Amino acid sequence: MRTSTSRRGRPGALWLGRGARLLGTVAVTFLGLLLVTFLIGRIVPVDPVLAVVGDRAPQSVYDRVYVELGLDRPLWEQFWMYLQKVATGDFGTSFLTKRPIVDDIARVFPATVELATVAIVIGTALGVPAGVWAAVRQGRLADQVVRVLGLVGYSAPIFWLGLLGLLVFYARLHWVAGPGRIDIAYEYAFTPQTGFYLWDTAVQGEWAAFRNVLSHLMLPAALLGYFSMAYISRMTRSFMLAELAQEYVITARVKGVPEWRIIWVHALRNAAVPLVTVIALSYAGLLEGSVLTETVFAWPGLGQYLTNSLQNADMNAVLGGTLVIGAIFVGLNLLSDLLYTLLDPRVRRRS
C-alpha cells in the first residue's frame, strides 16, 4: 500500500520539481543575459552622454546629462536601475529615431520574423528529405551531392550569395523584385495592421500587393533557407544513420516491413526527436543572424535596425535589440526542450 501510494504521488511531485527547475533556469539565464548586455554598454568605447548632447555641447550641459543618466552612481546601482527599467519594458529612447526602443523593435521585428519564418520552412522542407535521402544512399552519388550542397551552404559567405543572387535573378533575369520589402507603388495599397505584409495583403484582398511582397521576399528567404537547409540536412543525415543502424530496423527488415515504412515512419520518427532542437535553434539563428542579408537586400528588419544603430553609436537601441535576440534564443531553446520531453517518453521517465 505504501509503495502504490508513493507511485501515485510521484508524477505530481516530478512535474512540480521539473517546473521549479525550469523557472529557476530561465530566471538565472535572463539575469545573466541582462548582466552581459549591461556590461557591454559600459565596456564599448562610446560615450552615451555625447550621443545625447553632441560633441559641441558646453561642459555644464554634459555634466547635467551625465547625472540624469545615472552615470555618476556606483556600477551596481546602475545595474539595479537597468533591471528596474527592463522589468517595466523600458529599454530607453533611441538617440537616432527619438522614439522608445520598444516601439522601434515592434515596428521592425515583424519583417525579420516574416523573412526567417519563410526561410526556415524552405530549409526544413528541403533539408529533412535531403538528409534522409543521403543517409539511405550513404556513400553513393546522392549522398555526395547532398554533402557538397551542404558544404557550399556552410562555406559561401551569405552576403556574396546575396549580391550574386541580385545580379542574376533580379538584374539579368528579372525573375524577382529587387532590394526592399515592397515597391512604393504598392506601399499605400493596404493597411499594415500586423506588420506581416504577406498576411496583411492577403487578408485585405490586395493580391497585386501580395505578389509584389512575395517577389521581394523570395530571394532573401531562399538564400537563408539554403543556409539553414545545409545545417538541417547534415544533422538529419547523422540522426538517420544512427537510427538505421539500430536493432529495431534490422528486426523490421527481417519481418518484411516495407523499406519506405521503415525509413519514413519508424526511423524518421525517432530521428525527429533531436531534430526538433536543431530546427528550433536554426530558426533562432535566422531571427538574429540575418544582419548581412537584411543589409544586402535593404530589408527593414531588426538586423538592419541594429546595423544603423551601431553605425550611429545608438547604444540604447543596440542593447535593446541584443536583449530581444537573447530572449528569443532562450525562449526557443526552452520550447525545444519541452517538445523534446513531449516527443520522447524516455526523457520523461528519466526526469
Sequence spans of domains, the chain: 2-87, 101-350
Is residue 266 predicted with pLDDT exceeding 70? yes
Q: Sort residue 174 into left (φ over 0), alpha (ψ -120 to 50) or beta.
A: left
Return mean pLDDT, the chain.
84
Say what percent of the chain tops pLDDT 70.
91
For position 334, what pLDDT does the model report? 79
253's grid cell = 527488415
The CA distance from 196 to 173, in Å, is: 28
Q: Which pTM value belongs to this model?
A: 0.83
Q: How far, in whole angstroms, is CA 165 from its chain's centroid?
A: 23
Least confident span in 69-73, 139-143, 250-254: 69-73
| Position 170 confidence tier, pLDDT thresholds 50, 70, 90 | very high
Cell of 316: 540604447
Whether 180 and 173 have beta carbons less than 8 Å apart is answered as: no
pLDDT at 346: 59
- The whole-number pLDDT of residue 7 equals 45
- Which CATH number among 3.40.1160.10, 1.10.260.40, 1.10.3720.10, 3.20.20.70 corresponds to the domain 101-350? 1.10.3720.10
Indicate if the pLDDT at residue 14 is higher than 60. Answer: no
* Average of per-residue pLDDT across 157-179: 90
Q: Tell me the C-alpha distance between 342 and 304, whole Å.
A: 37
C-alpha distances out from residue 209 to 117, 176, 215, 245, 257, Å: 20, 14, 10, 51, 50
Q: Judge whether residue 350 has pLDDT over 70.
A: no
